[in-house]
Amino acid sequence: MFTSSFPEKDVVFHTVGLCSRHISMVSMFSSHAESSSNFRDLLELNYQNKSVVHLTAGSVVPLLKQSVWVVVRGLVKLGAVTEHGDELLLGLAGPNQPFGECLSDVEAYEAITSTDCDLLCLSLDEIQQSPELSMAMMNAVGARYRQAEQLLALLGLRRIEDRVRGFIELMAQDYGMPCEDGLRLNLRLTHQDIASALSTTRVTVRRVLGLLREEGWLKFDAQRHVVLTHLPRNKS
């Protein structure tokens, strides 16, 4: 058996309904969750005797050329460091999502745990020998690349406020969990993480989040988690 079971989601960062996109995002979440669940079931069925690796938050994940990591529990930040020492957030890997050096051509590529994590390591040989696992892995990698493309598209927005809104919506799409008021986002991100993803500064992100809170688009709960509260009005 795995030393840690595959959870549905780890709840940390909360979001609630995203204007007119709310219904479509719930639909996208359902599709994403179903695919993720199928991948999890496949791994649990075929790799019950493999041990998972536990890493505490802030740990650097060793990247192996002939292996792929799969997140069992937690969240991993995928990034790189520029020649000037600036950190870039290239994407995130949550439960049932793969990452690894063999899945990237970026120089100075790194993976750092954002939370305490349990990770499963699969060799390329193991993946290639199983048609079902290969197909599931391809679908999971495809979802990761779509996330990367959407992050890149956000950089084309001129207004930083639009970038921040779009970033939070994207995170809700990938990691949101339906709740009574909308979607609950299952990850913890710092102002610097968001700034690194959107090519701006931590101070600017903090200012924009403050403006969005004043506008009523989001609020912070007692644990400093973000809750999006901007719900659409019915036009009848």
**10-19, 69-78, 113-122: which range is least confident on average?**
10-19
Q: Residue 6 in contact with residue 39, Cβ under 8 Å? A: no
Pairwise CA distance, residues 48 & 121, whole Å = 13
166-219 residue pLDDT tens: 998 888 777 766 666 566 676 778 899 899 899 999 999 999 999 988 988 887
| The one-letter amino acid at 97 | Q
**Domains present along the chain, CATH in parentheses:** 19-228 (2.60.120.10)
pLDDT on residue 128: 92
| Sign of the torsion angle spanned by Cα atoms 212, 214, 219, 224 | positive
Read off the pLDDT of residues 38-63 as tens digits, 9 standing for 90 and up.
Answer: 777 777 776 666 778 999 989 999 99
User: Tokens at residue 168, please?
Assistant: 């939070």
E strands within the chain? 53-55, 67-73, 76-81, 87-93, 98-99, 109-113, 117-123, 176-179, 182-185, 218-220, 226-228
State the pTM of this model: 0.72
Helix axes 191-198, 131-154, angle to 10 degrees: 80
